[in-house]
Structure 1
Amino acid sequence: MGLPIDTNFIYSQFIDQVKEYAIYATDNNGFITFWNDGAKRIKGYEDEEIIGKFYGILFPDDYQEEGKPLKVLQEARTNGFYVAEDWRKRKDGSLFWAKITLTPIYKPNGEQIGFTKVTQDLTQQKILKDELVRQHEEITQKNNDLKVVNVDLDNFIYTASHDLKAPIANIEGLISLLNKRLGNCNCLDQATSTILQHVTTSIKQFKSTVNDLAEISKLQKNFAQGLMEEKINIPQIYKEIMEVNGLSFSNTKCKIQTDFQVMSIIYSRKNFRSILYNLLSNAFRYHSPERTCVIQLKTYEQNSNIVLSVKDNGLGIKEANKAKLFTMFKRFHNHVEGTGIGLYMIKRIIENVGGKIEVESEEGVGTEFKVYLK
């Protein structure tokens, strides 16, 4: 037979060699009776410096003054344990953030003989957590500031666009009157007529820009208030667009091929109509004069999305312009009327409810817009 195994010695050696946790024991009154190597490393005390001392020495000074060490012992006795994350103190007086577990120790007959204490240094984790909290608070504050700025900007745009309409109308009327008077007195020569035409064109562009700014302001207000979603019939929306805008589209003879694999969707009726109208309008306006205009309109399911695809065989988009395609007031074909906010607005509409829009285009071949709606 072998020698008897001293299990208490083995457990003591095992605990003593744990380096990542401070493990120590106290008597019933909190005076330290055992101190492992992890406790030496984390707290800085050697055995001879700490054995026999009241464990409250490891608490921050203000905690000691308010009697917290004794309160912790009492809570562990009452509840059978004490677990917390809190500040603790090293020998050099520095504080560290720790996870603490204090557990009463009992004899087999139920008599308490002391406490065991396990402490884990969480200082680095706390630093990272506090930094994440700080960054989150900073981002939240910046977002709140941006919301205030956006509201102020929207109010300014709305007010400016509203207040500018009357002066523009007055200027337009005065130019018309001037044109008529000059004509009646035969004072309208070719040069003056050209100048007046340029002024009239500038006024028209100015009116269009002001109206666009009003639409952008209205769009932002809709985002803030939220538009009612409902079950809408996609072919019906398409039919309404073609009936209402048929005359404006009729300048271009286009063959439209439809394939509605998805017939309905839960969405804002107004917003879906804006999306489809703008995509169809672009396909008509940017057709190629070199070939018969063909537009393919399709809806289908892909993964968790409903996809709306509008594909044409028109002018296409230069590779260098694709990155600026959805920018406000950007236009790449001057021979076509427009102010360049249509794609900007529908991108905002789509992304505001978690969707996305993609474009595939080749200059001289055509363009396909794909709208992914959840």
Structure 2
Amino acid sequence: MQSKNEQISELIGLNEELENYFSNTIIPQLFVDAQLALRKFTPPAMRQFNLKREYIGRPLEEISENFRYPTIIDNIKEVIATGKILEKEIQTTDMRWYQMNILPYLVRKENTTNGVIITFVDITSRIKDLKEQEKLIAEHELLLDTIAHDIKNPLFALGLTIEMLRKLPEKSMEKFPVFLAHVESSLLQIKKVVNDLVATRWQEQRYKAEVELLDLQNILEDVRLTLAPQILESKAIIKEELEISQLRFARRKLRSVIYNLLNNAIKYTPANRIPEILISAYQENDHLVISVADNGIGISKADQKSIFEKFQQVETASEGSGVGLYLVNTIVASANGKVTIDSEPDKGSVFKISLPAVAVNISSIQ
């Protein structure tokens, strides 16, 4: 049996070991007793949370703001009460991320929890990397959806042109050069998409959507040429009212937005009605608004809630995969913009793209 002096000597030795550990560890670490008073902390914790020596012995509640994490005391109480380790990723009010571990400090002889040891591992850089990876994955998914959609569009136009050629009377060959031009245009569009996709394997930046100063009028002309077979077949009337024509955006993405809205306006117009489409661009408060209004079949209030979801298609009688409006919404949202719709069944629809004023080239307004 140990004498009292031996026990004291052992406790002093254990305390010195604990002091040595706390003095030399490179991890921010705290020791809080069962009464929620701060008993020890490591030098990294002193630097990270602005702790001072005079804080030792004070209730943690008095200095809890130093940790910039409002529920830390509740978490400590939970561990003391349950005796179970708590592990969680937390974000402090200074926007840093930590892996926080709260371990019960057990007194084995008495089998009680006499406080907790808390460690903080800074994982801010890891969280940032994860968010960048998530963003990259989302961009790749959007890229794949866009490529698939871009290939499908000229294929559809090619099929439509071939069908029109089949219906062409033998004596009406004067229209043949026009149809041939549409075939060539569709083939060039397919070739461009395939070439961009192949180039992506070797030059990652080739297909990257870079923001640049664009002329909306040029984008509209490009889309008109791509949709020429559909416009010719439907006899669509397309008008423009562009109070603002220049904006900063990624060319491929803006073209995809305009193409999908214009294509839908033509596609979802009843066969017995000539499509009438008005494309407008104007400033509204601190936003640039691009509006596409049509006289098509319209969309009910109930269906409007799901039209921007992937693979959702309201009118199943028309050819489509339900990806177009999903792409429009995703592209606009990624630019901190918003897509709204005003529509009634059989009375047409108005889609509005609202983009922050930073996207507008102010010189074009003055």
TM-score, structure 1 as length reference: 0.48
Structure with max Cα Rg: 1
TM-score, structure 2 as length reference: 0.49
